[in-house]
Structure 1
Amino acid sequence: MTDSGQLIEAMDHRVQRREARREFFKSAFGVGALAVGGVAALNFSSRAGAQTALTDVDILNFALNLEYLEAQFYSYAANGVGLAANLQTGVTTTGAQGAVQIGSGATQARRVPFTDRAVAAYAREIAADEIAHVSFLRSASALGNAAVAQPAINIAGGAGSAFAAAATAASIPGGSTFDPYANDDNFLLGAYIFEDVGVTAYKGASPLITNKIFLEAAAGILAVEAYHAATVRTTLYARGVAAPDLRTFADGISNARDTLDGSMDLDQGISPLTRTGATAAESNIVPLDPNGLAYSRSPGQVLNIVYLTRAAATMGGFFPSGVNGNAALRASTAN
C-alpha cells in the first residue's frame, strides 16, 4: 500500500478523535492529575530504557537526523540550494550517507516565489537557524567525529512525494499533488508539518540526556524550535483571518499527526477554542497540556510522523531509507 493509502486509511477515525480531544480539553483544564505531556515523557523514557541503554551521543544523533531534514527543506525553500556537502558527511557504520531527493520538473524543491516579505524573511531566518543547528551538532562542542551522516531525505513536492502524502492525509484539497514550494501558504503548511514535531521530540529527549553541557545545548535548540513553531503557527493563524481554509488545513495536518503517533490525542491545531468557563474563544498558537506545559513525543512517535506510518517501520516518508544512528532509535512505533 502507498504512503497516501496507508494515511487515508489511518485517518478514518480522525473526526471522532478530534471531537474526543475537544471534550478532553473542556473537562481537563484545571485538573491537577498527570498531564498529557507527562504521560508522553514517561513513555519516551520507558520505551527507550526497555530497548537499550542509550547514550547522550545516541540521542543527539537522533536529533541531528531531524535537523538534516529541516535544514534541507528550509534551505531549498528560502535560498534555492541545500546543505553544503561538508555538512552531510559523518559516521556511516550506523547508516549510510544518503542523497537529498528534490524531485524534478515544476514541483521539485526550489526557492519559494514569496509574495509576502515577512514570510520570506521568516523562511530565511529559520533556514539559517536550522543550518546552524546542523553545524553545531556536528561540531567538536557536540558530536564531533561521532556525528552520523545525513540519511537519504525526500523533500520533493508534487505527486508521489512525502509532502503530498501528508497533505492527502490532512484532507487538503489537491493534496495528492501538494507542492510546499508553490507559494507562501503552501510553504507555511509544509513547515507546519515539521515544526511542532521538532519541539515535542526535543521535549521528549531531554529527560534522557545526562551530560549537562549536552542538556544545555538541547534546551537551547528546543527553545529555538519552539520560536520557529510559534512563528509558523501565528502566521498561519493571522493569514487564516482572510483565508479560513488555512486554519482548517493546519488542523487537518495536526489530526493526521495525531492519528499516526498513537492512541492518545496529543496534537493540537490552530483554530480558536473556548475553554470551560471562558466568555470568548481564544487562539491556539501554543499547543499545551492542561497544566500549560508543552507535550512530548517518544522517538518512535516522532518516526511515525516523519515516516508517515502508524506501523512499526524503519523507513518511509521523508526518510526513504530510514534515519541513521543507534538501532534502538531507528524504528517507528506500532500504533
Structure 2
Amino acid sequence: MADDKHIMDVLEAREERRSNRRDLFRGFAAASVAAGGFVLASKSSPAAAQSVSDGDILNFALNLEYLEAQFYVQAATGSGLPANLLTGTGNQGQATGGRRVTFTDPAVRAYALEIAADEQAHVAFLRGALGSAAVAQPTIDISASPNGAFSTAARAAGLIGPGQSFDPYASDENFLLAAYIFEDVGVTAYKGASPLISNKTFLEAAAGILAVEAYHASLVRTTLYAKGLQTPSLIDASIAISNARDSLDGPTDLDQGLTTTQAFGGTASNIAPLDDNGLAYSRSAGQVLNIVYLNRMAVTGGGFFPNGVNGTLRMSAAN
C-alpha cells in the first residue's frame, strides 16, 4: 500500500491529469437519438436556456431523486421504493439490479439507512409538491452487470478492466464509491437549478433538499477520506471518478476528488469541493444528464437512465 507520500504525489500530478481527463470517456459509444427539446444552458449561462417552468425543474429533480432513492434503499434494505411512489406522467419503468449490502462497518450501515430514509422522503415530498404533474419513475439501471452503468463508469475511470464489473453492493468501500458518484452531482444540480426557480415556496424546498444533499455528500466524502488514510487506493479512486465526471460535463473543471490541500501552513483535507471563493459549483441540467447518461454528447438516454428521464428536461448537453 502507498503511504502519505503517495497521496502528495497524486496531488502534484493533479494538473497533468486535468489536462488529460477530457479523453477518459472516449470509449463511450455515442447514442443514436432523435432530436429533443433544448434544456437548461449546456454551460454556465442560464440566459442561453429556453424558458422552463418551476414544475419542469422539480420534475427534473424528481428523476434524480428516484435514482438516488432506489440505490440507497436497495443497498440498505434489499427492497426498492414502494409502488405508490413510482407512478406519474411519462413512461414508468423498473429499477433493476439493486440488492442489499452486507455491511461490515456499523457506521457505514447507519449512514446508508439514514440516507436511504432521506432520499425516499425527498421522492415523496417532490411528488406531493407536483401533484398530478409528477413524472413517473423512469427505467433505472443500478446493477452490477459488466455492461451496466456502474461498471461502465468504473471502467471509464480506470477502476476496472474490459469485461470486468464493478459491484457497488459487494463491500462497504464499493458502496461508498458508488454513493460518491451520485452525491457530488446532486449538490451541483440543485445549486444550478435554484436560481431558475421563481416560486418562493418551491425555491425554499429546493434549498432545503440542496442542504441535505450537501450533508450526504460531506458524510460520504468524509468517510471515504478517513478510510483512505489507511487505504490510499480509495482516495485514488475518488480522484479517478472525479476526473471521469469532469470529462463529461464540458471544458470547465467542476470536480475535485479527495486530494489533500494546503491551508494555514498545514496539510488539509478536501471534503468540500469548492471554487477559489469557497463556494460550491453549479451544473446545468444538461451537464447533470451528461454524467448520469455517461455521455458527453447531446443524447436523451443512457447510463443510469437507459431510456432517459421523464419530463421536459431530458436532453444532455453537447460537450
Please classify the TM superposition score into its range, dividing by the shorter chain length. Answer: 0.7 to 0.9
Q: Is the 8 A contact 2:42 2:285 kept in 1?
A: no
Q: Which residue of 2 aligns with 1:184?
A: 172
Where does 1:267-282 land on structure 2 (aligned, <5 Å)? 267-274=255-262, 278-282=264-268
Offset, 1:18? 2.2
Deviation of 1:265 after TM superposition, in Å, equals 1.1
| Structure 1 unpaired stretches of 5+ | 1-13, 22-39, 103-108
Cα distance in 2 for residues equivalent to 1:44 and 1:153 = 29
* Aligned with 2:113 (options 124, 133, 140): 124
- Contact 2:42–2:318, Cα closer than 8 Å, also in 1: no
Find 1:56's aligned residue among 54, 57, 62.
54
Is 2:183–2:213's contact at 8 Å kept on the other side of the alignment? yes
- When normalised by structure 1's length, the TM-score is 0.82
Question: Given the alignment, which residue of 136, 139, 143 partners 2:125?
Answer: 136
Return the alpha-carbon distance in structure 1 between the equivalents of residues 196 and 43 of structure 2: 11
Structure 2 unaligned spans of 5+: 1-13, 22-40
Counterpart of 2:102 (choices 113, 116, 119) is: 113
In 1, distance between residues paired with 2:168 and 2:116? Answer: 15
Please give the alpha-carbon distance, in whole angstroms, between the structure 2 residues aligned to 1:268 and 1:41. 20
Letter in 2 for 1:273: T
Give runs of aligned pairs for residues 1-335 of structure 1, distance below 5 A: 16-18=16-18, 43-48=44-49, 52-92=50-90, 96-102=91-97, 109-139=98-128, 142-173=129-160, 176-274=164-262, 278-326=264-312, 329-335=313-319
Deviations 1:266-290 (A, max 9, x none): 1000121236xx5222100000010
Percent same amino acid at aligned positions?
66
How many angstroms does 1:331 deviate by?
Answer: 0.6
Q: Distance in 2 between matches of 1:264 and 1:43?
A: 9
Partners of 2:48 and 2:113 in 1: CA distance: 37
Pick closer, same or farther for the CA change 1:284–1:41 going to 2, 3 Å: farther
- In structure 2, relative to structure 1, the CA distance for the partners of 1:249 and 1:118 (3 Å cut) is same
Q: Give the CA RMSD over aligned residues.
A: 1.9
Q: Distance in 1 between matches of 2:43 and 2:18?
A: 24
Matched residue count: 286
Change in 2 beyond 3 A, CA 1:101/1:42: closer
- How many Å separate the matches in 1 of 2:47 and 2:155? 33
- SS of structure 2 residue aligned to 1:110: coil
Distance across 1 between alignment mates of 2:250 and 2:309: 20
> Secondary structure of the equivalent of 2:262?
coil
What displacement does 1:315 show? 0.3
Displacement over 3 Å in runs of 4+: 14-17, 173-176
Q: Deviations over 1:47-102 (max 9, x none)?
A: 32xxx31000000000000000000000100000101111000012xxx1111121
